[in-house]
Amino acid sequence: MPPATENRTPRIVNRKVHRDYTVLERFETGIVLLGTEVKSIREGHADLTGGYAVVEGDAVVLRDIHIKPFEFGHQFNHEPRRPRRLLLHKHEIKRLVGKVTLKGCTLIPLTLYFNRRSKIKVELGLCLGKHTIDKRETMKRKTADREAERAMAMRRKS
């Protein structure tokens, strides 16, 4: 039997976010899903790349994330790219509306995971798009940091 501390549920990460956007703020939200979607996510068959959230009236809707149809769902399966409603308090939605409209930010899903109570949560980021120059600067800074770490490690060994 595996240890109780070992987590067997997948954590689905949107890897392209930190390259294309600057994350200003993070929010943990619930998500409304169908049964076959939960089973598919539990198997790790979801993709957050290209997904974004939009405020529609008094609700926040997550669009363009792909959850693969469940293998044994047959006629009860879901549509892979359907819009999914996010669960937020009204005061959080009002705050998001203000920030998105004034700053020109975008709401991007960062991760999709199961919390301790086995509920699926979405970590939503309030993001500002990066320009090509910013991306190059970030890459240069990361390579410089890696080289400095490598040099420090070599000095420690000798």
Instruction: Tell me the per-residue pLDDT of 81-105, one tens digit each, with 9 for 90 and over.
Output: 889 999 999 999 998 888 888 777 8
Residue 145 pLDDT: 93
DSSP 70: P
pTM for this entry: 0.77
Residue 1 pLDDT: 41
Tokens of 39: 């089973």
Tokens of 42: 């539990």
What parts of the chain have a pLDDT lower than 70? 1-7, 73
Measured distance CA(110)–CA(88) in Å, rounded: 16
> Phi/psi of residue 153, each to 5°?
-65, -40
Residue 133: other Cβ atoms inside 10 A = 8
Residue 99 pLDDT: 86
Domains assigned to the chain: 12-130 (2.40.280.10)
- 112, 120 contact by CB (below 8 A): yes
Measured distance CA(137)–CA(120) in Å, rounded: 35
Residue 7 pLDDT: 58
